[in-house]
Amino acid sequence: MNVPELERILGEMRTNVPDVESAAIISSDGLVLVSTYGQNARYDESRVGAMVSALLSLGNRASVELARGTLEQVLVKGANGYVVIESAGPDTVLAIATNSNAKLGIIFFETKRLTEKIEKALM
C-alpha cells in the first residue's frame, strides 16, 4: 500500500472539490487506511470506519435483495450535506463528507475518477 500516494489522492479530492469537508479511504472491514480528518476533526476515525462498514453491508444486502446488481455507491443526504461512499476496489472504499452546497454531479465525477486512482495505488 502506497500511503503517500493515497494521501495525495485525497488531497486532490479536497483541492478539486471545495465542498468536500473530509475524505477517507476505508477497508471493507472498517479500518481507516488514510483520511483527511486531522487531529482537530469532529469525527472519530474508528467510528466513521465502523459506520461505513455497516452502511456497505446494508447497501450490499439491499442491492442483492432488490436485484440491483453489484453495489457501486451509497449516498446519505443530511440537512448539513452528503456522505458519499464509493467502491475503490474489491476491499476498499472512498468515503467523503460534503457541505450542503455540494453539486452531486461534480462529486460523482470526481469520486469515480479518484477511485480508479485509489485502486491502482493499492495494487
pLDDT tens digits for 9-56?
Answer: 998 888 888 899 889 999 988 999 998 875 556 778 888 899 998 998
Is residue 34 within 8 A of residue 122, CB to CB? The reply is no
pLDDT tens digits for 62-113?
Answer: 999 999 998 889 999 999 999 999 988 888 999 999 999 999 999 999 999 9
pTM for this model (two decimals): 0.87
Which three three-digit cell numbers place residue 119? 485502486
What range defines the domain where residue 109 resides?
A: 3-121
Task: Report the CATH number at residue 79.
Answer: 3.30.450.30
Number of domains, the chain: 1
Q: Please give the backbone phi and psi of residue 66, each rounded to the nearest 5 degrees, phi first.
A: -95, 10
